[in-house]
Structure 1
Amino acid sequence: MVLVVLGLDALDPELVDSESHQHLTLNSYHSIDTINSVEGEPSTHELWPTIITGLEPQEHGLVLDDGVAWENPFLRAGSLVADYLLPSGLQTRIGAWLLNNTEADAFRTPATYYSENNITTVFDGRESAAIGIPNYVVDPDSEDREHILRRNMGDFFKRDPDAKGGHTSADLTTFYEQCMEMAMIRIARARRSLRSRQYELVFAYTSGLDLIGHVSHSQPARQQRAYNEVNEFVGELRADMSDDDELLLVSDHGLQDGVHTNEAMVSCTSESVIKNIESVLDVKDAIENELIGDMHKDPADSSTTDTSIADSDEVREQLEDLGYM
């Protein structure tokens, strides 16, 4: 058995429909509680470390202080001065400028941070693939295509504290296509890891729905189109799963009218996996309980056919041809 966890940033339980989005709602789904940052709304920077550790942001230490992630090495030195000299609103504006006009990235805390601080994660002690998770970077010197696209969006996605949703886009059509490409990349990487049968846990993340939601508040049909497309992408992932595999979808918050909401969601191919998940704090335990269950088998013990190996090689070749690896 392989447990595939797909993190869909901002997947909103009020925007999915079990008839239209069968692959987003799976066999069972429900809303869960999330956690607000000090800025008053849920923060991606804080919540994905919470999801993989089961700890409150203050406990894992990756906290958004002022509207930008000053924990990033690029900004950390400036934050020491800013905390004393600059009002919080001005810090936010400076942080927005830095993230718009430099290569600073707020979500690149290395995975070693957790072991160095004696923090356990869902990845400890098992064969796992961690793909693009914010603030859990296995190889800080390596980037995939989603990360490169996000880091170099420029005017397609600019932070603007005065704009509805906190962001603007100079070209919504091109921006939408880039976001869909980002989602395809990360889901394709999850498919390849699943097909390899090397892992018991495959955990991948994509920010496509979140990015589109922030700038589509005046065009709700565009946000709904994104849900429909991601539903199809997840369907392709499901087609690669064996009867023993499980798929868990999880979000960190919802997103409506350009603004984060306080309802996240989970869905799963097995209702029992998610029945005890009431908040983002419960996801880690649910994953671990499933992986240590009686029905779990090490993927190394599974029979791997020549066909599955060929399929995995084919996915790798396609990603390499497209420049994603």
Structure 2
Amino acid sequence: MVLVVLGIDALDPELVDEDRHPHLTLSAHHAIETIDSVEGEPSTHELWPTIITGLTPAEHGLELDDGVSWDNPLLNLGSTVADYLLPGGLQTRLGAWLLTNTSEDAFRERASYYADNGLTTVFDGREAKPIGVPNYVVDPDSEDREHNLRRNLGDLFERDPDATGGHTSSDPAAFYEECLEMSMVRIARARRGLRGKRHELVFAYTSGLDLVGHIAHSQPAMQERAYEELDEFVGELLADLDEDDELLLVSDHGLQEGVHTHEAMVAATDERLVADIESVTDVRAAIDAELDAHDHSPSPRDDTADVAAGGERVQEQLEDLGYM
């Protein structure tokens, strides 16, 4: 019995519809409260550590400073210079330039950060498989296709504090394809983790929907199409669930007209999974409660039997995309 948690950055409760998006709403779904950063809107950098710890950003310590993660190792020099020489607005612009023009990912805090700071996460003491969770990096020397794509978007996704949504793209259509490819990869990895039956918890994250939303403010049909495609991708994951497996969808905030909104959402295959989630700070407790109350012990499948049951479809998809 596997609990799959799929983190979908910027999945907005006001933009999902039970009829149009049955796989994004599942058996039960509702809006939940999120937390604003110092900039006045929710921050991915802060919120996924909150979701996996149950702690507010002030409690877990991974906070933004004027919109930029100035404690990021690559930005330390920029931070030192900025603190002494630049006013706050220009610090944000410098951070935007650095994050656009370097290969550094602002969401790559190591998993060891939590133990080093006396913090616990939903993964502790579990047979768990975290996949791409922001600021929970198990192997800093390894990256998957989503990381690679994010780092090499170039002018397809440039930070611009003066633009609606804070970003511009030289080619929105090409950018859209890259973002949906990111989501396909992460969901395929979640499907593989589920099919292996070697983990009680598979927790995967994808940023594709959020990235599209930041560019699609002038092309709302693009964001609508992203929701429809993502619904299909999640439907493929849903089809892989065995009768006793469960799926929980979680977002960190919504996104409309290029800007983060102040509501997140949850959805699940069983109402009990989301009944007590009112805020992003409640997600960790809900996952713990499910894993403690129901037997999710790993039961690895025989590889041959797994392929015979249809596991080859996931492998073929990854091969078609050039990842295997």
TM-score bracket relative to the smaller structure = over 0.9
Task: Tell whether the 8 Å contact from 2:2 to 2:201 is kept in structure 1 after alignment.
Answer: yes
Q: Does 1:228 align with 2:228?
A: yes
Q: After superposition, where does 1:107-146 map in structure 2 within 5 Å?
A: 107-146=107-146
Worse-superposed segment, 62-71 or 13-22: 62-71
Task: Tell whether the 8 Å contact from 1:71 to 1:106 is kept in structure 2 after alignment.
Answer: no
TM-superposed CA distance for 1:319, in Å, is 2.4
Partner residue in 2 for 1:315: 314
Q: Does 1:298 align with 2:297?
A: yes
Partner residue in 2 for 1:5: 5
- What is the alpha-carbon distance in structure 2 between the residues aligned to residue 35 and residue 245 of structure 1? 30
Task: Tell whether the 8 Å contact from 1:63 to 1:71 is kept in structure 2 after alignment.
Answer: no
Partner residue in 2 for 1:159: 159
SS at match of 1:264: strand
Q: After superposition, where does 1:236-275 map in structure 2 within 5 Å?
A: 236-275=236-275
Report how many residues are paired.
Answer: 323
Partner residue in 2 for 1:219: 219
Cα gap change, 1:98 to 1:306, in 2 (>3 Å)? same
In structure 2, what residue type is equivalent to 1:163? A
- What is the alpha-carbon distance in structure 1 between the residues aligned to residue 261 and residue 42 of structure 2? 7
Task: Tell whether the 8 Å contact from 1:196 to 1:309 is kept in structure 2 after alignment.
Answer: no
- What is the alpha-carbon distance in structure 2 between the residues aligned to residue 244 and residue 277 of structure 1? 21
- What is the alpha-carbon distance in structure 2 between the residues aligned to residue 297 and residue 97 of structure 1? 45
Worse-superposed segment, 75-84 or 109-118: 75-84
TM-superposed CA distance for 1:219, in Å, is 1.1
TM-superposed CA distance for 1:272, in Å, is 0.6
- What is the alpha-carbon distance in structure 2 between the residues aligned to residue 283 and residue 116 of structure 1? 23
Q: Does 1:53 align with 2:60?
A: no
Partner residue in 1 for 2:80: 80
- What is the alpha-carbon distance in structure 2 between the residues aligned to residue 308 and residue 120 of structure 1? 34
TM-superposed CA distance for 1:100, in Å, is 1.3
Taking structure 1 as the reference length, what is the TM-score of the superposition?
A: 0.96
Task: Tell whether the 8 Å contact from 1:195 to 1:309 is kept in structure 2 after alignment.
Answer: no
Task: Tell whether the 8 Å contact from 2:24 to 2:249 is kept in structure 1 after alignment.
Answer: yes
Q: Could you list the runs of 5+ residues in structure 2 that have no partner in the other structure?
A: none
TM-superposed CA distance for 1:322, in Å, is 3.4
- What is the alpha-carbon distance in structure 2 between the residues aligned to residue 304 and residue 56 of structure 1? 41
Counting aligned pairs with the same residue, the percent is: 69
In structure 1, what residue type is equivalent to 2:322? G
- What is the alpha-carbon distance in structure 2 between the residues aligned to residue 71 and residue 224 of structure 1? 36
- What is the alpha-carbon distance in structure 1 between the residues aligned to residue 125 and residue 77 of structure 2? 34
Task: Tell whether the 8 Å contact from 2:32 to 2:266 is kept in structure 1 after alignment.
Answer: yes
Task: Tell whether the 8 Å contact from 1:273 to 1:286 is kept in structure 2 after alignment.
Answer: yes
Task: Tell whether the 8 Å contact from 2:54 to 2:283 is kept in structure 1 after alignment.
Answer: yes
- What is the alpha-carbon distance in structure 2 between the residues aligned to residue 221 and residue 243 of structure 1? 36
TM-superposed CA distance for 1:82, in Å, is 2.0
Task: Tell whether the 8 Å contact from 2:209 to 2:227 is kept in structure 1 after alignment.
Answer: yes
- What is the alpha-carbon distance in structure 2 between the residues aligned to residue 118 and residue 58 of structure 1? 14
SS at match of 2:322: coil
- What is the alpha-carbon distance in structure 2 between the residues aligned to residue 185 and residue 208 of structure 1? 10
- What is the alpha-carbon distance in structure 1 between the residues aligned to residue 312 and residue 128 of structure 2? 19
TM-superposed CA distance for 1:309, in Å, is 4.8
Q: Deviations over 1:291-314 (max 9, x none)?
A: 011x323023x7658432554466
SS at match of 1:299: coil
- What is the alpha-carbon distance in structure 2 between the residues aligned to residue 182 and residue 318 of structure 1? 13
Q: Could you list the runs of 5+ residues in structure 1 that have no partner in the other structure?
A: none
In structure 2, what residue type is equivalent to 1:273? L
Partner residue in 2 for 1:183: 183
Cα gap change, 1:123 to 1:162, in 2 (>3 Å)? same
Worse-superposed segment, 98-107 or 265-274: 98-107
- What is the alpha-carbon distance in structure 2 between the residues aligned to residue 267 and residue 143 of structure 1? 28
TM-superposed CA distance for 1:224, in Å, is 0.5
- What is the alpha-carbon distance in structure 2 between the residues aligned to residue 15 and residue 206 of structure 1? 18
Task: Tell whether the 8 Å contact from 2:196 to 2:301 is kept in structure 1 after alignment.
Answer: no
Q: Deviations over 1:29-67 (max 9, x none)?
A: 000000000111000000000000001101111111022
- What is the alpha-carbon distance in structure 1 between the residues aligned to residue 111 and residue 301 of structure 2? 31
Q: Deviations over 1:60-110 (max 9, x none)?
A: 111110222222210023313422332111011011111111112101111
Q: Deviations over 1:237-259 (max 9, x none)?
A: 01100010000000000000100
SS at match of 2:285: helix
Taking structure 2 as the reference length, what is the TM-score of the superposition?
A: 0.96
Partner residue in 2 for 1:324: 323
- What is the alpha-carbon distance in structure 1 between the residues aligned to residue 307 and residue 194 of structure 2? 11
Task: Tell whether the 8 Å contact from 1:4 to 1:201 is kept in structure 2 after alignment.
Answer: yes
